[in-house]
Amino acid sequence: MKKHFKFFLIATVFALLLSCAHERNVEITVMHTSDIHGTFFPYDFVNGKSMNRSLSHVYSAIRQERMSNKNLILLDNGDILQGQPAAYYYNFIDTASVHLAARIINFMKYDAAGVGNHDIETGHAVYDKVFAEYSCPVLAANAVRKSDGKPYFKPYTIIKRDGIKIAVLGMITPGIPKWLPNSIWEGIEFRDMVETAEYWIRKIRSRENPHLILGLFHSGYDYEREGEDINTHSNENASLLVAQKVPGFDAVFIGHDHDRFCSKICNVAGDSVLIIDPQNEGKLVSKVQISIKVKGNKTIEKTVTGNLLETGGFEPDSSFIAEFQSDFDAVKQFVSHPVGRFTKSISTRSSFFGASEFIDLIHRIQLDITKADISFTAPLSFDAEILEGNVYVSDMFKLYRYENLLYTMQLTGREVKDFLEYSYSLWTNRMQTSADDILLFRETGNNRNGLLENPYYNFDAAAGIIYTVDVTKPAGEKITIKSMYSGDSFDFEKTYNVAINSYRGNGGGGHLTEGAKIAKSELSSRIVFSTSKDLRYFLMQWIERQKQVDPALLYGDDEWKFIPENLVKTAIERNYKLLFDNRK
């Protein structure tokens, strides 16, 4: 009897101890980068100067965290393959090597990576190769093959830390068909993020039964941006909508909008969800700390907190710099190659207030390449300058920032006029007195905060026609086209060949769809020519052939201008100072 009692006592104590052992706390840290845009090194290859931000700074922060935290997870959120020349060089120049981005992702030991729209912009040949070189999974559940509806990339991945099972669901902004030509994403369909999340959350829960679910979304949080709203299907910036409408996420890591954001929201089930966005170019890194209590495989409770670390407080990691020194040297040599000479300096600053030599150089090259009647282009950098004298490959990234193709499209005279009306409605205020602003600024309460209401890269001006913009008139009534540059009359009923970049030609910015009222489905039929390589390549080739370029206004001071001149003169001076006086 005593023997049985002793056995019973031991068994009971053991069971109690076992029960207690099964209830435990686990601390997990998730760190996250997004929109690196080729900023691998603490050096700006475009402007030839050091930078206090880069993945080498991020890696210092990561290494420090790993020293005290064995349960660290590292995520990247895409848009890594476009921007600084370090990305461009391995996209299109040295295509035989394992891509620098892939080697860095592997060196830093990322656990998963998302896909961004600017990654897709590089074309199948680039992103298919690069993502295959990643040692971690590449995620985008809503990018599916048209042939069978299955994800083109991996939809989600499972990461385990200290017995905790974490699911990471990736998605990409579905706005890509609005901006990029079909050839670049041929065979892929980009689906609505909310609908995709609803489907995959159910799948993940039933298949995996994870302790935590994280979203990795290359999509911003402001779903009302650029005229979209809560009901817009395939909303470009749907991260907040997903977090609100689809229960199950513990934290959502976002990007795409280059914004700084860290906040909790309440979803439809009444649960809080952390949303975090680390801006761009490695300026910030997300740090989310998760404390989870489990008993056996059951979650008892969990807390999620987050903050954004400024990476400028860290030194570039010496092991990173040493590992990729030869790559740095190769890119620096590439951008230092001379292309030609300019007889004067040009700047984008003047392009906000009238015809400019910077924009007219792009017009001139676009018209020469396409032999079109009319050219459209916008300043793609807010404040870029190319100095008189020798011009280098690095300057081509100032002249043209993105890897757009060049199209020739057929538009009627009426569509050309409506295109311009739309552009200047984004660009200009309606003035009544000289005290009014000429530019359309964003309002904060009753105080203008000095920021433009709309993205400057949507401020398209035209060449090939002579026209005025009357800023006293309402939107839709500002443009008067006087004639073609040749002196021929401008005909609203005639069809013109128009040089335009592929972003705009595919509907980006809404100039063709909202402005000219051309159906999205009709745009491809209007394209009669497309370059095979990005426009920057052809700009470079054109300058090399010329050897010396004299930047000048194509048609003199009257090619296009704001009127009434006596009204706009002081407004231009005042708004110029507002935009640029505080910039170095």
Radius of gyration of the chain (CA): 27
Contact (CB, 8 A) for 38 and 80: yes
pLDDT at position 444, please?
61
Q: How far apart are CA 518 and CA 541, in angstroms?
A: 33
| Tens digits of residue pLDDT in 24-54 | 999 999 999 999 999 999 999 999 999 999 9
CB atoms within 10 A of CB 261: 19
| Tens digits of residue pLDDT in 121-137 | 999 999 999 999 999 99
pLDDT at position 18, please?
46
Residues in a beta bridge with 28: 290
pLDDT at position 557, please?
74
pLDDT at position 213, please?
98
User: Is the pLDDT reported for residue 255 higher than 60?
Assistant: yes
User: Is the pLDDT reported for residue 2 higher than 80?
Assistant: no
Indicate the pairing of strand 156-161 with strand 164-172: antiparallel
* 274 HSE (CA, 13 A, CB side): 22
Structure tokens at 246: 């689809």
What mean pLDDT comes out for the span 514-537?
95
Residue 174: cis peptide before it, omega within 30 degrees of 0? no
State which amino acid sits at residue 555.
Answer: Y
Contact (CB, 8 A) for 290 and 251: yes
| Tens digits of residue pLDDT in 265-311 | 999 999 999 999 999 999 999 999 999 999 988 999 999 999 999 99
Structure tokens at 68: 């005290």
| Tens digits of residue pLDDT in 429-445 | 999 999 999 999 987 65
Of the candidates 199, 99, 102, the one whose C-alpha atom is nearest the C-alpha of residue 149 is 199
Give strand ranges (E) for 45-121: 49-50, 72-76, 112-114
pLDDT at position 451, please?
85
What mean pLDDT comes out for the span 354-372?
97
What mean pLDDT comes out for the span 146-159?
97
pLDDT at position 206, please?
97
Q: How far apart are CA 362 and CA 384, in angstroms?
A: 14
What mean pLDDT comes out for the span 481-495?
97
Structure tokens at 289: 């700390």
| Tens digits of residue pLDDT in 530-572 | 998 899 999 999 999 999 999 999 888 779 999 999 999 999 9
Structure-token match 């402001």, residue found: 222
Q: Give long-range contacts, CB 8 A cutoff, 24+ apart: 4-8.
A: none
Angle, vertex CA 72, rays to CA 71 and CA 78, nearest 5: 150
Contact (CB, 8 A) for 214 and 252: yes
User: Is the pLDDT reported for residue 350 higher than 70?
Assistant: yes
Contact (CB, 8 A) for 55 and 104: yes
Of the candidates 407, 371, 427, 419, the one whose C-alpha atom is nearest the C-alpha of residue 529 is 407
Q: Is 248 left (phi over 0), alpha (psi -120 to 50) or beta?
A: left
Q: Which domains does the chain have, with CATH numbers?
A: 23-331 (3.60.21.10), 338-580 (3.90.780.10)
pLDDT at position 489, please?
98
Contact (CB, 8 A) for 47 and 332: no
Residue 543: partners with Cβ closer than 8 Å, 6 or more residues away: 339, 340, 391, 549
Which backbone phi and psi does 284 adopt, to 5 degrees? Answer: -130, 160
- Cα 487 from chain centroid? 41
| Tens digits of residue pLDDT in 367-422 | 999 999 999 999 999 999 999 999 999 999 999 999 899 999 999 999 999 999 99
Which backbone phi and psi does 91 adopt, to 5 degrees? Answer: -70, -45
| Tens digits of residue pLDDT in 181-203 | 998 999 999 999 999 999 999 99
Q: How far apart are CA 176 and CA 548, in angstroms?
A: 38
Of the candidates 212, 213, 257, the one whose C-alpha atom is nearest the C-alpha of residue 238 is 257
User: Is the pLDDT reported for residue 15 higher than 50?
Assistant: no
Indicate the pairing of strand 143-145 with strand 156-161: unpaired
Structure-token match 């209590």, residue found: 293
pLDDT at position 6, please?
56
pLDDT at position 487, please?
93
State which amino acid sits at residue 400.
Answer: Y
Q: How far apart are CA 328 and CA 86, in angstroms?
A: 8
Q: How far apart are CA 42 and CA 320, in angstroms?
A: 11
| Tens digits of residue pLDDT in 310-335 | 999 999 999 999 999 999 999 999 99
Q: How far apart are CA 582 and CA 572, in angstroms?
A: 16
Q: What is the mean pLDDT of the chain?
A: 94
559 in helix, strand or coil? coil
CB atoms within 10 A of CB 140: 30
- Cα 519 from chain centroid? 25
Q: How far apart are CA 218 and CA 36, in angstroms?
A: 12
The percent of residues above 90 in pLDDT, for the chain, comes to: 90
Structure tokens at 151: 């994800």
